[in-house]
Chains A and B, each alone.
Chain A
Amino acid sequence: MSDQPSDAGMDVESYPVPLPRGADTVAPLIGRKVALRPIVPSDYDFLYQIATSPDVLVGWRHRGAAPPPEQYAQVLWQGVLAQFLAVRKDDGKPIGAVSAYNADLRNQCVSLAVLIAPEFERRGWAMEAGFIFIDYLFKVWNFRKIYLESLEFNVRSFWSGVDKLFRVEGCLRDHEYHDGKYWHLYFLAIYREEWAQAAPRVLPASVVSPEDSDQ
């Protein structure tokens, strides 16, 4: 017989483990105007339409090459760790998608891509969807940094954050050909520590610190 006390008479309150938690351990996926939800097969048509839209192709992962529709589902999930549909918070209509791909769990980094329908471009929707997703990625995985690629003409939309939130890790000069000229391709990284500082400036408190905002 063991000398150890049985669990039967143990005082649960004094047992040194945290109380049970459930959905509150997961990062919220709802921002000011945008919410993220899982992608289901019925979303594929919408995603294919915007991913192959001439206005969007240059900024998305396919870079101008339109995959055949029958192969799109496979292409969409290729190398993906997590991805969500971005929808309007007010009416639930889809506006785009966010994707984390090429995860390197050994070195704790991942790449991020944001796809947004042309009519929602340059109005802050893509940026908010991206930030909600970045917060989610840092909360759910122990990543050190999240990479994103951006062509020269897209970096302008978040230039104020370069060298503060977005660190330039590299630049391929005159790398990509679009509209008659070659453009630089920037490789940027968001570091976990810097994200912790920046998140309250760009996301509602309900996303950054849901426990506090519930009180």
Chain B
Amino acid sequence: MLDFPTFCNRLRERLELDGASWDTQLNVVETFDLDSLQMLELAVFMDELGAEVFEEIVPQLQTLGDLYDHYVKRITSEERW
């Protein structure tokens, strides 16, 4: 399982995002004004980590903390099985 800094670095590289303070409170969607293409890249990135993002929970996943918590929950629930 990725730790939080590694998760952030991978996401930053993947979406080619710069600047801002990358902490759990950072609202990625608003701060970087992600467009539809970047939202799709974000969804594919989460899929690859084993943390599929279902459409109904997208509005709840705004901050880095939300995204990382979702990833951790999905990974740990997979591991239990």
Interface residues of A (CB under 8 A from B): 32-33, 122-124, 127-128, 131, 156-161, 165, 201-205
Evaluate contact between A204 and B40: CB separation under 8 angstroms.
no
B37 interface neighbour in A32, A33, A157, A203, Cβ under 8 Å: A157
- Tell me what chain A mostly uses at the interface: helix, strand, loop, or mixed: helix
Minimum distance in angstroms from B52 CB to a CB of chain A? 8
Q: Which chain B positions have C-beta within 8 A of A201?
A: 14, 41, 44
Q: Is B6 an interface residue (CB 8 A)?
A: no
User: Which chain B residues numbered 40 to 76 have a C-beta less than 8 Å away from chain A?
Assistant: 40-41, 43-44, 47-48, 55
Evaluate contact between A156 and B35: CB separation under 8 angstroms.
yes
Evaluate contact between B44 and A32: CB separation under 8 angstroms.
yes
Minimum distance in angstroms from A130 CB to a CB of chain B? 10
Q: Which chain A positions have C-beta within 8 A of B36?
A: 122, 124, 127, 157-158
Evaluate contact between A158 and B55: CB separation under 8 angstroms.
no
Most buried by B among A131, A202, A203: A202
In the complex, the chain B residue whose C-beta lies closest to that of A123 is: B55
Q: Which chain A positions have C-beta within 8 A of B55?
A: 33, 123
Q: Which chain B positions have C-beta within 8 A of A157?
A: 35-37
Q: Which chain B positions have C-beta within 8 A of A124?
A: 36, 39-40, 43
Known A-B contacts A32-B47, A33-B55, A201-B14; the reply to A159 vs B35 at CB < 8 A is yes
Evaluate contact between A202 and B35: CB separation under 8 angstroms.
no
In the complex, the chain A residue whose C-beta lies closest to that of B34 is: A160
Minimum distance in angstroms from A184 CB to a CB of chain B? 18
Q: Which chain B positions have C-beta within 8 A of A33?
A: 55
The 4 lowest CB-CB distance pairs between A and B, nearest first, are A158-B37, A157-B36, A161-B37, A160-B38
Q: Which chain A positions have C-beta within 8 A of B44?
A: 32, 201-204
Complex-state Cα separation, A108 to B32, whole angstroms = 37
Evaluate contact between A202 and B37: CB separation under 8 angstroms.
yes
Q: Which chain A positions have C-beta within 8 A of B39?
A: 124
Complex-state Cα separation, A127 to B38, whole angstroms = 11
Complex-state Cα separation, A11 to B48, whole angstroms = 43
Q: Which chain A positions have C-beta within 8 A of B35?
A: 156-160
Return 12 A-B CB contacts under 8 Å, by A number.
A32-B43, A32-B44, A33-B55, A123-B55, A124-B39, A127-B40, A131-B40, A158-B35, A159-B35, A160-B37, A201-B41, A202-B44
